Amino acid sequence: MKILLVSPNSPNSFWSFKHALEFLSKKAVLPPLGLLTVAAMLPDDWELKLVDMAVTELNDLDIQWADYVFISAMYVQKGFVRQIIDRCKRMKKKTVAGGPLFTLVPDEYNDVDHLVINEAELTLPQFLKDLARGSAKHLYTSDQWANVQDTPLPAWNLIDQKQYASMCLQYSRGCPFDCDFCDVTTRFGHKSRTKSKAQILAELESIYNLGWKGPVFFVDDNLIGNKQHLKKEILPGVIEWLKEKKYPFSFNTQVSINLADDDELMRLMTQAGFNCVFVGIETPNEESLAECNKVQNKGRDLIACVKKIQQAGMEVQGGFILGFDHDNHAVFETLIRFIQESGIATAMVGLLNAPQGTKLYERMVREKRLLHDSTGDNTDLTMNFVPVMVYKELLQGYRHVVQTIYSEKNYYNRVLAFLKNYNRVTRNRGRTEHCDIKAFVKSLWRLGVVAKGRKYYWRAILWALMRPRYFNTAVRLTIFGHHFRTMFEELYMSAKDRRAQMR
């Protein structure tokens, strides 16, 4: 059997880092981990080929070669998915689809030959058995949770790791919290299901054997959902492995704000090479936190928590949301002040959306406020329900926030505020690679000479030159800032063009 595995492209967005990748001479941030894991579950005697459309084009010869085309996608990739399915149908090739998009809205893909949805550890084996018997069904689903200790090592041999800015692995699935706008618990449950120490070390070894040196992203929605297992087993094991390998990797991941409550956990994470965490802060408005059931953030000095994590040795990237029912017109300036004071350089500010499968979606349906499905990207200037605040005023306030925090002056001030509060743990650094040097050289011209805000760039670079252990971080953040500014400018221009066409 010849199997073509296809990962669709994604629209340019906050997390695409499209304009930052240009400095690194990389094509994509991360390889398609889910599809690589599925590939490892297929029979050994099958011939596999993977096309990641973020890295290379999908051509007709690839499709013609295959007996089956496997597609896995996130919701934000929906538009690209339809193009792939239509191409396969025109060429009379059978399709097999799974992943978050197809699990969420399977009824929209009745033209896919086989939908293998929910967790592949449970549904893929049955599909493969039926396929071998010549009796494969259209839909395979499960209401159970998979044992992730059965999950195999990803089939890394299918990618060219040089095309990516980071490698990735997954330690756990599930989150103990229940934020009403989030579909993680719908897809993965409230209990944090974890891999074993042996599995994690084997995955690190497999990435190391690729020849990779640099960042590795733990893709967990909340790495610290099971703190005790992390502290007693996983992190001590990673610390010893890193020491033995002479610290080839640095790590980043996603966590909840209660990380700041656990000094031991923060210490172990930084010793294990974690130098960056994404935290869903959402809003400094207590009423809005209560509205969305963000209980872990309520009643806290959120800025103090952020600074504590930074001082422990981890950069905090923050997620923020505008458009809660309890947001008033003061929220925009309040959020700007919060972001500037916190020193969160990478601040993703989005408009609230209600994805299918969430409690927020159900509430919007009950209140007859739902407009359409979410796009899966809350930074694209769209909302899929009617907000309490007048939408035009909310959109104007949102644009004011983004343009203010990503102006050269405010962004670089935030970078310096972060660096001055950041306790960089140097031994878990990862090695400076050729692409890092190239990125810095490109930044000298594009950000230090051509850019309007070049004086702010030089202030940050000169500060970091006097403190070498912060230099790589400073350069990276200057490049990130360029991406965020450019991405939002393009987004606003695109929205302006759409309005002009409508007129």
pLDDT digits (tens, 9 = 90+) for 308-324: 999 999 999 999 999 99
Domain annotation covers residue 346: yes
In a domain, 265, yes or no: yes
Chain mean position to CA 202:
23
For residue 243, the SS3 value is helix
Is 241's pLDDT higher than 70? yes
Average pLDDT over residues 152-166: 97
173 and 247 belong to one structural domain: yes
Q: Using the predicted structure, report yes or no on whether residue 434 has a pLDDT greater than 90.
A: no
Q: How confident is the model at residue 430 (pLDDT cuts 50, 70, 90)?
A: very low
Whether residues 41 and 95 share a domain: the answer is: yes
Are residue 295 and residue 266 in the same domain, yes or no?
yes
Same domain as 498, residue 401: no
The predicted pLDDT at position 343 comes to 97
Number of domains in the chain: 3
Task: Provide the residue range defining the domain that includes 332.
Answer: 166-421
Residue that is last in its domain, among 395, 421, 447: 421
* CATH classification of the domain holding 359: 3.80.30.20
Kindly state whether residues 296 and 326 are assigned to the same domain: yes
DSSP string, 488-502: HHHHHHHHHHHHHHH
Domain boundary among 391, 421, 451: 421
Q: How far apart are CA 327 and CA 425, in angstroms?
A: 38
N residues, the chain: 503
Average pLDDT of the chain?
95
Mean pLDDT of 81-99: 97
The answer to whether residues 276 and 306 belong to one domain is yes
The span from the CA of 304 to the CA of 446, in Å, is 35
**Phi/psi of residue 354, nearest 5 degrees:** -115, 95
Q: What is the pTM of this model?
A: 0.95
Q: Would you say residue 192 has pLDDT above 90?
A: yes
Tens digits of per-residue pLDDT, 13-42? 999 999 999 999 999 999 999 999 999 999
Residue for token digits 């229940």? 178
